[in-house]
Amino acid sequence: MLKIGIVLLDRGKEKESMSIARKVYPYFKKAGRRARGTEFELMRTVEYTKAGERDEELTDEGRRKLDEKDGFIFVVPTFSGDVPDDYCEFFQSMSAELLNKSALVVCYGEERERKNTKQRINEVLLNYDVGLPTSDIFLPEYDFVEWKIKQVIDDYISSRLKDYILWTMGMKYMRNLKERLVM
């Protein structure tokens, strides 16, 4: 069984990110059932970080919760320019928990900022030996009422999640193999 954390990164747009995550969560659950019990858990960064000088320092509970995950889905709004500093600080603080795990980026918002968002976040994640599947999920600014009648959206999310789940299974297998060989 796989455990995957759906991490909401943007504190400034957390309500919007949570809304997006909740809208796609049924697709994740459906894919998880097909993948022999893969579990998804919504995770807000604010719940797992300490208040202090560095807002993105993980609590012990946060480290434990992140460490037990086999992979991560990061939900972020699109942006232009570089990766926001708080994202980088969060990735840095969870670097041990990211090591040899898989990550998928779900970004939402402006189509023109899609490529930059995915490319920049993937560049940062590669610094932490994260396995990145070849594709991410982009959610344009649809009215979610339209989603119910769009089979294309269902097929799109399902196919990307299927690839990601297989990738995560492979990464978990490699971690387990590495642990056994080191003994």
pLDDT in tens, 146-158: 555 566 777 888 8
**Residue 148 CB contacts under 8 Å (≥ 6 apart), including other chains:** none
CB burial of residue 122 (10 Å; 0-12, 13-18, 19+): middle
And the tokens for 12? 């400034």
Rounded to a whole number of angstroms, the distance between the first and last alpha carbons of the chain is 24
pLDDT in tens, 112-158: 888 888 888 888 988 888 888 777 888 776 555 555 556 677 788 88
What pLDDT does 155 receive? 80
What pLDDT does 147 receive? 53
Identify the sign of the CA torsion 28, 19, 139, 132: negative
**CATH superfamily for domain 3-182:** Flavodoxin domain (3.40.50.360)
Q: Which carries the bigger pLDDT value, residue 112 or residue 72?
A: 72
